[in-house]
């Protein structure tokens, strides 16, 4: 096998990195995952995700984790309501009879990010993940790399896979191509116990998801299994809006005042999002990478997931990261390539092609979603979908 006697470092324990670690371990590879979080519980994991037949679910199956997934997914959490700025419901999946099941092409089961991460972590051999390993730099060595961590530790390895997300520290060692700002910013947060802390919006969400759109702006709500509600407020903003706005993001009253002005036509029911004093808001300017990006393959370092091909949220990000993991692990272990470089080169070639196609669709989606016709197009799309 190409990976015989090789030390492999996967940088980043997100869905992409963890899936790759599991798939490589199934083939007997010597893998460590270096993750900056201090431990598995240190960070609140984000909203629910739907996994897709030809990508996320395919990787789960190859990882031998379909039963674990079935035990943790959230049936009916995939039910959407599309509403206007006044809360009028224009499309409602709750009226539908659910017919999909595992094995159907259009079945997209939802799982919270935390349980998905737990399934993947629990499937790894003990001590595969080296927590508290915030990578700050790399040094090239003969036939390998030295990894330098913020805590002063170092590790010497033969092969690095950068799965460290949007602000990857590994990416500059692979390509100088940088992400660019999409023109849209999200304000992201989570309200615990939404039944108590945001009851009207909790009831509107009905345990599923809400897409609210008007005035070239969006508001997405998503009910999580722990009883909390994630929400993302999206609008067109300058790249440095967070500093230029002068808002103190620790002061929810200031954010509320901004919302009242920026979303002036929206119903007062949305103001409930700001009632819970302890909500922490995170500003996320959405970035993407050039659709024609390309780099010469390196023999002992590559990227996957957001580190390789970041896009504004399009419902595919986790699925693409897991599909990268599947293709890369197959190429490195299926015996069809004579050396690691050719295995990586073939993986990167199809990864660039997939990204160009997905990125084009995402750019089109961002254009209509943040246009005056966004709501109308969203409703039409939902109505064309199979049950």
Ligand X SMILES: Cc1cc2nc3c(=O)[nH]c(=O)nc-3n(C[C@H](O)[C@H](O)[C@H](O)COP(=O)(O)OP(=O)(O)OC[C@H]3O[C@@H](n4cnc5c(N)ncnc54)[C@H](O)[C@@H]3O)c2cc1C
Residues at the site binding ligand X, with contacts judged by CB under 6 A: 11-17, 34-37, 49, 133-135, 163-165, 169, 186, 188, 232, 284, 305-307, 313, 315-319, 321
Answer for the pair 60, 111: CB distance below 8 angstroms, yes or no: no
Backbone angle region of 105, left / alpha / beta, with phi > 0 → left and psi within -120 to 50 → alpha: alpha
200: number of Cβ within 10 Å: 14
Backbone angle region of 106, left / alpha / beta, with phi > 0 → left and psi within -120 to 50 → alpha: alpha
DSSP class of 222:
E
Q: 50 among the known binding-site residues?
A: yes
Distance CA 84, CA 91 (A): 10
1/282 with CB nearer ligand X = 282
| Token pair 């024609």 in the structure block, residue | 292
91/113 with CB nearer ligand X = 113
Q: In what order do the strands lie in the sheet with 154-157?
A: 135-141, 144-149, 154-157
Q: 113 among the known binding-site residues?
A: yes
14/179 with CB nearer ligand X = 14
149/337 with CB nearer ligand X = 149
Read off the tokens for 245: 């706005």
**Min CB(206)–ligand X separation in Å:** 18
267/313 with CB nearer ligand X = 313
| CA angle at 110 for the pair 309 and 272, rounded to the nearest 5° | 95
**Min CB(268)–ligand X separation in Å:** 25
The set of residues, in sequence order, having a beta carbon less than 8 Å from that of 267 and lying 6+ positions away, is 85, 86, 87
**Min CB(339)–ligand X separation in Å:** 26
Q: 108 among the known binding-site residues?
A: no
Distance CA 308, CA 176 (A): 12
Distance CA 141, CA 156 (A): 9
**Min CB(147)–ligand X separation in Å:** 9
Q: 118 among the known binding-site residues?
A: no
Distance CA 343, CA 28 (A): 17
| 157 strand-pairing partners | 145
Read off the tokens for 129: 């993940």
**In 3D, which of 78, 3, 80 has the Cα closest to residue 328?**
3
133/252 with CB nearer ligand X = 133
**Min CB(335)–ligand X separation in Å:** 27
35/348 with CB nearer ligand X = 35
Q: Which residues are annotated as a binding site for FAD?
A: 50, 113, 306
Annotated binding site: 43, 50, 113, 306
Annotated binding site for NADPH: 43
């Amino acid at each position: 096998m190409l990976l015989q006697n090789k030390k492999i470092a996967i940088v980043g324990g997100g869905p992409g990195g963890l899936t790759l670690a599991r798939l490589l371990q199934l083939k007997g590879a010597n893998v460590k995952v270096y993750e900056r979080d201090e431990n598995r519980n240190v960070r609140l994991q984000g909203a629910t995700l739907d996994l897709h037949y030809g990508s996320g679910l395919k990787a789960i199956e190859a990882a031998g984790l379909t039963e674990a997934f079935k035990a943790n997914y959230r049936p009916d959490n995939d039910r959407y309501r599309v509403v206007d700025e006044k809360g009028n419901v224009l499309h409602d999946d709750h009226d539908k009879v659910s017919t999909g099941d595992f094995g159907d092409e259009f079945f997209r089961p939802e799982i919270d990010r935390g349980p998905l991460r737990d399934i993947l972590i629990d499937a790894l051999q003990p001590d595969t993940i080296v927590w508290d390993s915030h990578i700050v730099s790399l040094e090239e060595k003969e036939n390998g790399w030295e990894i330098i961590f913020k805590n002063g530790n170092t590790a010497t390895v033969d092969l690095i896979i950068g799965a460290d997300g949007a602000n990857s520290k590994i990416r500059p060692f692979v390509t100088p191509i940088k992400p660019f700002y999409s023109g849209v910013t999200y304000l992201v947060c989570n309200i615990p116990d939404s039944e108590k802390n945001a009851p009207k919006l909790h009831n509107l969400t009905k345990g599923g998801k809400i897409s609210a759109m008007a005035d070239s702006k969006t508001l997405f709500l998503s009910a999580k299994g722990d009883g909390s509600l994630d929400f993302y407020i999206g609008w067109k903003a300058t790249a440095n809006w967070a500093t230029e706005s002068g808002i103190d993001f620790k002061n929810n009253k200031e954010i509320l005042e901004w919302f009242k002005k920026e979303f002036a036509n929206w119903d007062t029911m949305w103001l409930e999002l700001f009632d819970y004093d302890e909500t922490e808001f995170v500003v996320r300017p959405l970035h993407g990478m050039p659709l024609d990006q390309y780099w010469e393959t390196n023999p002992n370092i590559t990227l996957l997931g957001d580190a390789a091909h970041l896009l504004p949220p399009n419902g595919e990000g986790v699925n693409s990261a897991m599909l990268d993991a599947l293709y890369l692990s197959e190429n490195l272990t299926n015996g069809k390539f004579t050396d690691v470089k050719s295995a990586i080169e073939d993986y990167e070639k199809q990864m660039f092609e997939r990204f160009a196609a997905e990125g084009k669709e995402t750019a089109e989606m961002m254009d209509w979603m943040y246009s005056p016709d966004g709501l109308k197009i969203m409703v039409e799309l939902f109505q064309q979908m199979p049950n």
